[in-house]
Amino acid sequence: MNWIDRILDNISKFGVRKITKLEKEYLDNFSKEKGASLLEQLNTRTDYYNSLYTYDIKNLSWLDNKLIDKLTDEEILFARLNLLWDNFEAEDCYLFQSIYDVPDRVINKTWNEIPKKYKQMFDNYWEDYYKF
């Protein structure tokens, strides 16, 4: 899916106010010279998030090597989401909050402190918005 289709899909799902500033700027300028630079920024950000989402969790320093083979698919997913939680940009944090109506008290918690329903919303955000 190209960026125009992805952004328009997100607008249809979440509304025009629920896209990032960079995506709005890209829509406003995609046919102009500035659009190429914005496209590169969008791709860079998505590639960064995708690299976190697909990171081989066996390389995580805090994970006990003896437990790796015993991890369930859900535990592996939660480890990947934990990486995203610790590293997602403020603009995406705000967007996640506004789409799923997440209170500030949740955003300020560590991954292990977040209630499961918000972890599921966070997973949905990456699936729905970034198509992971």
Per-residue model confidence (pLDDT) at position 63 = 64
Per-residue model confidence (pLDDT) at position 79 = 85
Q: How many CB atoms lie within 10 A of CB 81?
A: 21
Q: How many CB atoms lie within 10 A of CB 3?
A: 17
- CA angle, residues 11, 92, 43, in degrees to nearest 5: 75
- What is the residue extent of each domain of the chain? 3-129
Question: Of 117, 132, 41, which is closest to residue 83 (Cα–Cα)?
Answer: 132
Backbone angles phi, psi at 32, to 5 degrees: -100, 175
CA–CA separation, 125 vs 85, rounded Å?
Answer: 11
- pLDDT tens for 65-84 read 667 777 788 888 888 899 99
Per-residue model confidence (pLDDT) at position 65 = 64
